[in-house]
Structure 1
Amino acid sequence: AQISFWLAYMHLLLMLCPNTKFLTPPSEQVHQSITIVRLYLPINELKGAGKQNFETLIFSLCNILRPLHGAAGLGIQHSYEWENYQHIEYELIQEYRGVDLCSPSGNKKWRTGYTNLNWYTYLAHHWVSKLGTTEDLLTQLDDVRIGVLPYEWGTIFRAGNWPALGKATIDPRPELYVMVNEVLKPLRVNNIGSLHYGSIAGEIRLNERTSNQWMRRFDLPKDSPKPKPSPFFRRVSMEEQQRLDASKQMFDAFLNRNSDDKSNNSQANRQRFLLDTLDALSAAIGT
């Protein structure tokens, strides 16, 4: 099952592929088709407290529908005659890599791996477990801008605080999308199939080859090294946080003592206390 919430052009699209073991009819279990649930919201929904409300909505729907996989972010909202405009959709997704394409139908292959990766990506727990524990994922995604959010039926991955447009001429591979993609791609479907119908009058649409190229748009070039986590955004361990808190208390004490000593003109004491504080800070950060 797949879910996607998208800021579909520009709206918020939420697409879910619900778990067939939970609420799909017997015919779907027999024929191995796949159910897709899509929700569109205007991008204005992210204003103010909307971003947190949006994440809460994702959690609620994932807990209700228990999807196999899904995604949420910037996307294109289809019209009733969407097949007549696939050539326009093709142009848009080539120009803006962060904009997702959400086909209203799926195929059996989508049961074997996820098909969408975007701002939010959610995967069932029996898939995520193949990558390790939550602690393992936090180690691999060592960046505080990336959310690793486990829930009862799976894990939700958030690539940054805001969705990335991914304009091809400026930022074709958004940094955080690439980092999440590098960790999750072993769970990706091998062949997504063709996401568009055939050309009618020579217009360019997606075929099976270009659909698979699009699905891999956040992959790094072959033989490229994996991106290293930025030291400015790395996660701080509990032990490191305790040392930093202790150092902060010492520094605050120094400032308070410095203020008291001004009246006594105790310059030697201030200098000695400052050196002690700097030594403690150096020890706390491991230098």
Structure 2
Amino acid sequence: MPSSHQIPVELPWSPEALAAFEFPGDLLLPRGPRNYVGAVTCLRLTLYFKDAHTAATRERLCLCFDAFRELAGDALSWLWREKPPRGMPKQRVKNSQPLRDMIGTMSEDDHLSFCYTSGANAEDAGAWQFLVYGKRGWQSRMGDDMSVLELSAPTGHFSGEKCQFIEFAIKCAHWLRAAHGHAGYALNLSPVRRERNEPIEAVLAQRLPGLDAGNAALLANRAELKHLKFKTVSWLTLLDDARLAAAGGFDQLRSALSEPYFRLQGYGSGVLIQAGARPLAYADAEDPRPPEYVLLDHQLRGLRPASVGNLHFNPKSAEPRLIGRLADQWMRRFEVDASEIPIHEARLARQHPRTYE
């Protein structure tokens, strides 16, 4: 694993380069690094959805988990639960009950929190992760009704048109009637030491604009993400029918986002917008922002807030975090003036269209 002096921000960020990186825990803290995996690069899907307290939605979460296990095979090793009504917070997956059985014994006001990870040790981040954070029934009725499902795989787990990851994203979005979501490169942080490893995410996210950042469970019910808003564009961007209508509708988006650089697919209650045949973290030294993401952000800017507040916890020391102005800059990282759009269209046109295999 790299030391704090070997953070690989200058490498060509191809899927092959990204695939290998794990970062030691507490890497950028004054007392670090420590001997555990604090962060690992991954390809991650984040879905925001409602009604996590209902039996029907919980069954659909189990369908998502069943499909995820088909992709992950035997990779999952640990299960963490936050405040489980019964059972231990930490379990080996091989010794745990099936997810359906655990969910089936829970009331609608029990805390729905499951994090399955492929870390070798319980505290390690893993590239394979299934994380659900569901709002309780009383919270939903009070208006904090948006829950989160995050699913991640190693970065090489895609290949063009028949990409299993994309098909999987569409199935899960359909089952959960996702309100919005996104998928692309990300860092999975240690499931129980997240705050201590946010600094490495802060450093890389500022240099690699295609990398996701922030804790989705903490952001989901921020006021700025309500009223038909969504967090960010990425390789895959998902909008439900209401947000799609607010963006001008399917036909207008399809007309504005030219093939073969963009592809739109329905998921039953919304649309998945694919920007390029593969995810990107970084474009080039002249402008690290992938032009596909810049153009898509411009098209959807009316739905993307300029700020959602802090993306990270406030630091206890001087390590980097995405808070305040830096968090707002990250939210607006793809934002350009309308006069600059021809520049990014030209950047896109200079590329060879990435083949959908």
**TM-score, normalised via structure 2 length:** 0.57
Which secondary structure state, in structure 2, belongs to the residue aligned with residue 72 of structure 1? strand
Residues in 1 aligned to 2:212 and 2:51: alpha-carbon distance in whole angstroms: 24
Q: Which of 243, 254, 263 is equivalent to 1:147?
A: 263
Q: Of the two, which has the highest radius of gyration? A: 1
When residues 203 and 195 of structure 1 are mapped into structure 2, their CA distance, relative to the original with a 3 A threshold, is same
2:207 is matched by which residue type in structure 1? E
Shift of 1:206: 1.4
Residues 85-105 of structure 1: CA distance to partner in whole angstroms, max 9, x if unpaired? Answer: 222211111121111114142
**Structure 2 partner of 1:91:** 203
Which secondary structure state, in structure 1, belongs to the residue aligned with residue 43 of structure 2? strand
When residues 93 and 53 of structure 1 are mapped into structure 2, their CA distance, relative to the original with a 3 A threshold, is same
**Structure 1 partner of 2:280:** 164
Whether the aligned pair in 2 keeps the contact of 1:128 and 1:154 (CA below 8 Å) is: yes
Q: Which of 34, 41, 48 is equivalent to 1:17?
A: 48
**Structure 1 partner of 2:91:** none
Whether the aligned pair in 2 keeps the contact of 1:70 and 1:114 (CA below 8 Å) is: yes
Whether the aligned pair in 2 keeps the contact of 1:20 and 1:28 (CA below 8 Å) is: no
Whether the aligned pair in 2 keeps the contact of 1:149 and 1:156 (CA below 8 Å) is: yes
1:148 is matched by which residue type in structure 2? L
1:123 is matched by which residue type in structure 2? L
Residues in 1 aligned to 2:153 and 2:259: alpha-carbon distance in whole angstroms: 28
Shift of 1:171: 3.8
Whether the aligned pair in 2 keeps the contact of 1:164 and 1:174 (CA below 8 Å) is: yes
Q: Which of 193, 218, 221 is equivalent to 1:105?
A: 218
The answer for unaligned runs of 5 or more in structure 2 is 1-18, 20-38, 58-134, 352-357
Is 2:152 the partner of 1:37?
no
The answer for unaligned runs of 5 or more in structure 1 is 1-6, 234-287
1:105 is matched by which residue type in structure 2? L
Residues in 1 aligned to 2:257 and 2:161: alpha-carbon distance in whole angstroms: 26
Q: Which has the higher helix share?
A: 1
Is 2:316 the partner of 1:180?
no
**Structure 2 partner of 1:217:** 333
Which secondary structure state, in structure 1, belongs to the residue aligned with residue 218 of structure 2? coil
When residues 157 and 86 of structure 1 are mapped into structure 2, their CA distance, relative to the original with a 3 A threshold, is same
Whether the aligned pair in 1 keeps the contact of 2:186 and 2:213 (CA below 8 Å) is: yes
Whether the aligned pair in 1 keeps the contact of 2:40 and 2:189 (CA below 8 Å) is: no
Q: Which of 188, 199, 204 is equivalent to 1:77?
A: 188
**Structure 2 partner of 1:200:** 316
Whether the aligned pair in 2 keeps the contact of 1:197 and 1:207 (CA below 8 Å) is: yes
Number of aligned residue pairs: 226
Instruction: Please give the root-mean-square deviation of Cα atoms over the aligned residues, in Å.
Output: 2.7
**Structure 1 partner of 2:242:** 126
Q: Which of 152, 163, 182 is equivalent to 1:52?
A: 163
Whether the aligned pair in 1 keeps the contact of 2:185 and 2:281 (CA below 8 Å) is: yes
Which secondary structure state, in structure 1, belongs to the residue aligned with residue 334 of structure 2? coil
Greater shift after overlay, 99-108 or 164-173? 164-173
Residues in 1 aligned to 2:306 and 2:179: alpha-carbon distance in whole angstroms: 16
When residues 133 and 116 of structure 1 are mapped into structure 2, their CA distance, relative to the original with a 3 A threshold, is closer
When residues 201 and 168 of structure 1 are mapped into structure 2, their CA distance, relative to the original with a 3 A threshold, is farther
When residues 208 and 231 of structure 1 are mapped into structure 2, their CA distance, relative to the original with a 3 A threshold, is closer
Residues 195-223 of structure 1: CA distance to partner in whole angstroms, max 9, x if unpaired? Answer: 11112122221113211210111111575
Greater shift after overlay, 184-193 or 64-73? 184-193
Residues 65-87 of structure 1: CA distance to partner in whole angstroms, max 9, x if unpaired? Answer: 11111100100101020101222
Shift of 1:17: 0.7
Residues in 2 aligned to 1:51 and 1:215: alpha-carbon distance in whole angstroms: 31
